[in-house]
Amino acid sequence: MKKEEPAISKMNVIGLLKKLLPYVLPYKWLLLVTLILTFVGALMAQVNAVVLDRTVDAINDLLHQPSFAWSTATKLLVIVSSILLGKELLSAVFTFGQRFFGEKIRINVNRDLSFKVIKRVVTFRMAFFSAEDNEPGKLQTRIDRGVMSLSNTVKNFFIDILPLFTSAILALVLMFAANVYVGLVALVIVPLYFVITSVQAKHLKGWRRNVFGTHQEVNSGILNIIESMNVIKSFNREQMESKRQADLQIRSAEQQMATRKISFLFEGLKSFMEQIGTVLIIILTAYLVLIDYPGMTIGKIMYHVLLFNNVSAPIRQLHRIYDDLNDALIYAEGFFGILEADEEVEQSGSYKPSVVKGEFDLRNVEFTYGNGTHAIRDLSMHIVPGQTTALVGLSGAGKTTIVNLLDKFYSPDSGTITLDGVPLEEWDTQVLRENIGLVLQKNHIFSGTIEENIRYGKPTATHEEVVEAAKQAYIYDQIMELPEKFNSQALQLSGGQQQRIAIARMFLKNPPIIFLDEPTASLDAIATEQIKNSIDAIKQGRTVIVISHNIGQIIDSEQLYVLQLGHVEQSGVPAEVYCQGGLYKEILDASARSMNVDKIADVVSKTIDN
């Protein structure tokens, strides 16, 4: 089900800056130093205009004196050169400081935004991650682009915009102080430029959204190719996947070119407006000098041109900054949409018992996934504590969904689920999951060493405890054959070995409730038997729910629920349910036939007879 677009999609520049302010304020002293250095740098930017104004007039006076003295001219040039070079030296120091502290603010904000969004994302319920718009590639793009564009906004504002506009305002004040008419000409040109830039932004907004959406698709597609490489190669679909990505890249390139085309047209118009301003300043100043207007000298021509250059400097940079700002507005929607998705935060109760028995009771439970799949229908079952309960059914029957509901990964649409007589929503989620061990058909192995991955089940575990867990999972001997043993990289292990690492992780956690979802699916027969023996040992006194197509793991259970289309079809002791006939008998007989049980029994019988 698609959610309504949040109000943040209407974000404007003021709204964006307000949202960024809490991330900048913790560095108020850095901000203050940056602002001071910015103001000083803006003052120094006007020195060239003032010095050259005085220099031109002084040289003009020298040329009109009866006797030209080279000593005076030399002295003048030495003074001017010293002032300009000294100013450049000081300006370099202040610019370095302003950029250094401004960049430090940007880096700190980048770090804080990244930490905040990750801290937020891990609190979301599983339904958030199963939504179409939150696929791993798309979600990563939203986060990465959001952090990058927002931190760049901080850079643009405190490192680029502030010094440029501070310098422009000071230059404009000096122009008005020298001559009101010239100041008015400069003042009129600037708003026209802003108007053009604003129109440009409106034309580009839709295109930028399309570019962003396509970029998400490209990233998601690349991630999907990498994750599915063995399937792609096994079906010889390299060309098909390449073409699919090529089409996406072509669409992305076309959208980018359309965006750039509009940008270049408007930038050319803005450049033309800037040149009109410069020409008008020169003509007006020259005219005032020619009519001998009070205070207007030849030096003022250079003076006003240089000052107008400082006024128009932001204009030359504005298109780039404005482009970045508009990108930030678009990327910020997705980024702050994550930070402000309060409805996605996983709800936790306050119930924290000292002892967990493991008695689950489900009554009339209904559940539908966000994509509309009705997975559970009016389901009721009772999980007896301290026993092993098997969930059996064809693919799509709802077995894994039940485990997800019991682990509070999802909440039922209706009906009740209780654990030890307390509704599941009242349980403290962290306490609940600390008492549940979960082994899936495909468990995630983190980047890191084998020991780090096993210790994930109990971060405070000693090395000896990790070793014991590895022995229980029958992976110890294989680990010891590796060059770096427990310090070997876990991701370099085979699929079956990684599955044993995940099982060792569960052994180390040692919880009172265990969910096993095809725990030996990727293991060979001998490893399956070894793991089964370990699991049988750890089952004692625990509540175990097992999902498996392995007959041995199903038939050993004390309670059985047969599911079809999210509803309980049969239940009871496995042997009794088999005698009833129906779906369970069909599944068990089909499993036996697929394993050639008769031939296996015949081979074993002949071996015994011999």
Query: What pLDDT sits at residue 1?
Result: 37
The CATH number linked to 423 is: 3.40.50.300
Tell me which amino acid residue 363 is.
R
Tokens of 479: 């680990």
- Concatenating the DSSP letter of every residue in 471-507 gives HHTT-HHHHHTSTTGGGSBGGGS-HHHHHHHHHHHHH
Query: What pLDDT sits at residue 54?
Result: 77
Angle at alpha carbon of residue 34, lines to 28 and 38, rounded to 5°: 145
Together in a domain, 255 and 116:
yes
* Residue 410 domain-assigned (yes or no): yes
What global pTM score does this model have?
0.67
432 contacts: CB under 8 Å, gap ≥ 6? 407, 408, 419, 424
Together in a domain, 497 and 522:
yes
Q: Phi-psi category of 352—alpha, beta or left, where left has phi over 0 and alpha has psi -120 to 50? A: beta
In what helix (H) or strand (E) does residue 37 lie, and over which residues does it extend?
Answer: helix 28-44
The CATH number linked to 128 is: 1.20.1560.10
The pLDDT averaged over each successive group of 10 residues in the chain (610 residues) is 41 79 87 83 78 74 68 77 83 84 86 87 77 71 82 78 76 83 81 74 64 66 67 67 76 74 76 79 82 79 80 69 74 79 75 88 88 86 89 85 88 90 88 85 77 88 90 86 88 79 85 83 69 72 82 80 89 86 82 67 58
Residues listed for the chain: 610
Supply the angle between the helices 162-178 and 298-339 in degrees, to the nearest 10.
150
* Residue 485 domain-assigned (yes or no): yes
Together in a domain, 390 and 318:
no
For 144, the 3-state DSSP assignment is helix
Q: Which of these three, 283, 316, 344, is where a domain ends?
A: 344
Together in a domain, 54 and 159:
yes
Tokens of 329: 């507005």
* Residue 350 domain-assigned (yes or no): no
Q: Which of these three, 344, 374, 389, is where a domain ends?
A: 344
Together in a domain, 339 and 376:
no
Together in a domain, 384 and 518:
yes
For the sheet containing 559-564, what is the strand order?
436-439, 513-517, 543-547, 388-393, 559-564, 567-572
Backbone dihedral angles phi then psi of residue 124, each to the nearest 5 degrees = -75, 150
| Closest C-alpha to 310, from 49, 102, 86, 54 | 49
Together in a domain, 45 and 143:
yes
Query: What pLDDT sits at residue 604?
Result: 55
For 447, the 3-state DSSP assignment is coil
Together in a domain, 76 and 207:
yes
Question: Distance between CA atoms of 13 and 326, rounded to whole angstroms?
Answer: 8
Is residue 541 within 8 Å of residue 519, measured between CB atoms? no
Together in a domain, 407 and 378:
yes
Is residue 358 within 8 Å of residue 386, measured between CB atoms? yes
Query: What pLDDT sits at residue 8?
Result: 39
Domain that holds residue 208: 7-344
Together in a domain, 404 and 322:
no
* Residue 598 domain-assigned (yes or no): no
Query: What pLDDT sits at residue 231?
Result: 61
* Residue 602 domain-assigned (yes or no): no
**Burial, 346: exposed, middle or buried (Cβ in 10 Å; 0-12, 13-18, 19+)?**
middle
Tell me which amino acid residue 238 is.
E
* Residue 594 domain-assigned (yes or no): no
Query: Which residue has 């770090």 as its token pair?
Result: 111
Question: Distance between CA atoms of 301 and 280, rounded to whole angstroms?
Answer: 11
What is the number of domains present in the chain?
2
Query: What pLDDT sits at residue 541?
Result: 78
For 460, the 3-state DSSP assignment is coil
Together in a domain, 301 and 199:
yes
Backbone dihedral angles phi then psi of residue 370, each to the nearest 5 degrees = -60, -25
* Residue 49 domain-assigned (yes or no): yes
Together in a domain, 381 and 315:
no
3-class DSSP string for 320-336? HHHHHHHHHHHHHHHHH
**Burial, 70: exposed, middle or buried (Cβ in 10 Å; 0-12, 13-18, 19+)?**
exposed
In what helix (H) or strand (E) does residue 377 lie, and over which residues does it extend?
Answer: strand 374-383
* Residue 610 domain-assigned (yes or no): no
